[in-house]
Amino acid sequence: MATITRQEVPTKLTWDLSTIFKDDQDYQAAFNLLNDRLGELDQYVGHLADSAETLLAGLEADLAIERTFEKIYIYAHQKFDQDTSNNTYAGMNAQAQDLLAKVSQATAFFQPEVLAMDSAVLSSYLKEPGLLPYRHFFDVLLVEKAHTLPADQEALLAGASTVLSSSEQTFSVLDNADIDFGDVVDEDGNMQELTNGLYAVMLRSKKPAVRQEAFAALYDAYMSLKNTFASTLSATVKKHNFLARTRHYQSAKEAAVLSNQIPTAVYDTLTDRVEKNLPLLHRYVALRKKALGLKEVHSADLYVSLTDDVDLPVTYQDAKEIALKALAPMGDDYLEVVQKAFDERWIDVVENKGKRSGAYSGGAYDTNPYILLNWQDTLDNVYTLVHEMGHTVHSYMTRHNQPYHYGDYPIFLAEIASTTNESLLTDYLLKTYDSPKVQAYVLNQYLDGFKGTVFRQTQFADFEAWIHDQDAAGQPLTAEAMADYYGDLNAKYYGPDLERDPEIAYEWTRIPHFYYNFYVYQYATGEAAATTLAHNILEKGEADRYKEYLKAGNSASPLEVIKKAGVDMEKGDYLDQAFSVFEDRLDQLEKLLG
């Protein structure tokens, strides 16, 4: 069936952006007004230290500019996303991007000036009544003070940023444009050019030969360039270590996590507890071997489903009802926000020509927290709906309980809210559907998700720490050295039932996250925390405690905020509980599959 045009989408299935600006003319007027106002900040440049009153006035002027801009940006951005082929909205989006650059330039003076202020003077200013509500805001800024260099050195580093990032750019071009995987025979016996997208499809094939052909072809290409990839990754690691030393951090890991107010103990606790629970992953690999009837399990066999797909079509209307029932343990106030999202058209539901692919939750402090979907009548899409609804309710509760300057939340906390909802949906489906086939499908999906997010991302985190430590110790990061370590690490993670394919030792060549600077661990901590929080909501009735986290925004450090929900991420208890849930569901799937 042909994809419908934007004009053919029923209004009730589109988001209502008129609550931001009533029409495009209203948007343009706001755009022009803000563009003309940017010069208002000039009066504060070089004067923030003059007095507490000037500091407060400069801060409030800065925040007012940013707050107004966010509304403008969201309107243009989401108008464009609903139909990227619309030239009017493409122009508006480009216009908003240009304004972003201007706003960033106009407000860039604030943080460096605050960091340059005499500590005693700033401390005295922050005791003034007008600045007291901003105390934590300034505390976060001042975390950078000990790691900020003199202005001329900062300018030098800023000027070198493009050069320092060249290895990431080289990897990206090589990985996305230049590498050639050749042709393979697909599921239907047709010769096709192998792409990353087709690779993912072929690894889910029920035919072992199809999976293995895709795996071999992909890794042949990466291994043929192993020394080039070793060079790009080594250069990126050297950059991270250089910047950490330059800014007086103990390590690149410390520089990356402390800048987000996360102590390194969170990272280390994660890798330690996951390693202690690797026997659970070994059991899951053994189950995979048995369920698939394989004499040997290879790396290419780790992604195919252990069950047949379930014939469980779910309309969008059905999905709304399922979501409300699955999220009922959160309490009436939570469900009221979910219902508002449905009733007040916060959600752009169906696919249309030109619409951005995928799904997201977006918005600004002064807008509704919108959701973009490309709905298909599948169970996976129900998961997408409750996932994005988790972000949306988080945004709503934060913005309705915090002032603008605390009205957002860091990435470290963001995915916990969405993944908790997925865990609640899994529990609801297991309790609602008696069919062994549906139960096995849901359990398999859950276990695969946990494997990919907690175990796999922690494996990546372990490798990332090792390559940075090796470079810091003066050891060369050759392709062979990294392959030796990664191959051993992979064998340790997946256990004795996984054959040691030589290709998998070079998996590091194709992982873009290794260029992101200690980012992946957050996927694992978020999934584990969400699993534990969902358990506590269901078994201990801790929904009210959980919602204190949703309401807190940026009003405290990320660890202090998540403690409100009952999770201490410097200790391993939350991980132990998450692994207990994983083990329980592994037990259930083992019984169902015999």
Q: What's the pTM value of the predicted model, to 2 decimals?
A: 0.94
Tally helices (H) and strands (E) across the chain: 26, 5
Q: Assess whether pLDDT exceeds 80 at residue 439.
A: yes
Q: Which amino acid is it at 416?
A: I
- Reported confidence tier of residue 594, pLDDT bands at 50, 70, 90: confident
pLDDT digits (tens, 9 = 90+) for 442-462: 999 999 999 999 999 999 999
DSSP string, 142-166: HTTGGGPPPHHHHHHHHHTHHHHTH
Pair 39, 66: CB distance under 8 Å: no
C-alpha separations of 555 from 106, 390, 406 in Å: 25, 19, 5
Question: What pLDDT was estimated at residue 111?
Answer: 92
How many residues are present in the chain?
594
Domain spans of the chain, in order of start: 6-145, 164-309+436-593
pLDDT digits (tens, 9 = 90+) for 146-204: 999 987 898 899 899 889 999 999 999 999 889 999 999 999 999 999 999 999 999 99
Could you tell me where the beta strands, DSSP code E, fall in 368-503? 370-372
Pair 20, 26: CB distance under 8 Å: no
DSSP string, 337-373: HHHHHHHTT-EE-S--TTPPPS-EEE--TTS--EEE-
Average the pLDDT over 473-480 and give the result. Answer: 98
Q: Assess whether pLDDT exceeds 70 at residue 294.
A: yes
pLDDT digits (tens, 9 = 90+) for 71-95: 999 999 999 999 999 999 999 999 9
Q: How far apart are CA 215 and CA 301, in angstroms?
A: 10
Parallel, antiparallel, or unpaired: how do β-strands 183-185 and 370-372 relate? unpaired
H/E stretch holding 355 reads: none
Q: How far apart are CA 389 and CA 337, in angstroms?
A: 9
Question: What pLDDT was estimated at residue 384?
Answer: 97
Question: What pLDDT was estimated at residue 151?
Answer: 79
Q: How far apart are CA 103 and CA 101, in angstroms?
A: 6
Catalytic residue numbers read: 388
**Residue 289 token pair:** 């071997």
Question: What pLDDT was estimated at residue 1?
Answer: 64
Q: Which residues, other chains included, contact 453 with Cβ-Cβ below 8 Å and sequence gap of 6+?
A: 523, 524, 526, 527
Tokens 């393979």 correspond to what residue?
A: 184
Pair 169, 163: CB distance under 8 Å: no
**Residue 286 token pair:** 């053994």
Pair 164, 239: CB distance under 8 Å: yes
In this structure, of 1-15, 222-236, 489-503, the range with the lowest mean pLDDT score is 1-15
Q: Which amino acid is it at 106?
A: A
CB neighbourhood size of 158 (10 A): 9
Assess if CATH 3.30.499.10 describes domain 164-309+436-593: no
Average the pLDDT over 280-304 and give the result. Answer: 98
Tokens 């407060």 correspond to what residue?
A: 56
Q: Assess whether pLDDT exceeds 90 at residue 2.
A: no
pLDDT digits (tens, 9 = 90+) for 231-255: 999 999 999 999 999 999 999 999 9
Hey, what CATH class is 6-145 in? mainly alpha
Angle at alpha carbon of residue 380, lines to 441 and 334, rounded to 5° = 110
Q: Assess whether pLDDT exceeds 90 at residue 140.
A: yes
pLDDT digits (tens, 9 = 90+) for 86-129: 999 999 999 999 999 999 999 999 999 999 999 999 999 999 99
User: What integer best gives the mean pLDDT of the chain?
Assistant: 96
SS3 360: strand
Q: How far apart are CA 58 and CA 66, in angstroms?
A: 12
In angstroms, how far apart are the furthest CA atoms of the chain? 76
C-alpha separations of 120 from 44, 49, 116, 147 in Å: 21, 11, 12, 18
Q: Assess whether pLDDT exceeds 80 at residue 311.
A: no
DSSP string, 116-137: HS-HHHHHHHTTSTTTGGGHHH
How far is the first Cα of the chain from the last one, in angstroms, to the nearest whole number? 40
Question: What pLDDT was estimated at residue 69?
Answer: 98
Give the percent of the chain with pLDDT over 70: 100
Q: How far apart are CA 260 and CA 397, in angstroms?
A: 22
Q: Report the candidate in 469, 436, 322, 296 with the shortest Cα–Cα distance to residue 382.
A: 322
272, 274, 277, 280 alpha-carbon torsion, rounded to 10° = -160
Q: Which long-range contacts (CB under 8 A, 24 or more apart) does 32-41 make?
A: 34/65, 34/68, 34/69, 34/72, 34/99, 34/103, 35/99, 35/102, 37/65, 37/68, 38/65, 38/102, 38/103, 38/106, 39/106, 40/65, 41/65, 41/106, 41/107, 41/109
CA 340 to chain centre: 25
H/E stretch holding 18 reads: none
CB neighbourhood size of 22 (10 A): 10
**Backbone φ, ψ for residue 184 (5° rounding):** -135, 165
Q: Assess whether pLDDT exceeds 90 at residue 310.
A: no
**Fold: same for 6-145 and 164-309+436-593:** no
- Reported confidence tier of residue 34, pLDDT bands at 50, 70, 90: very high
Question: What pLDDT was estimated at residue 278?
Answer: 99
pLDDT digits (tens, 9 = 90+) for 482-500: 999 999 999 999 999 999 9
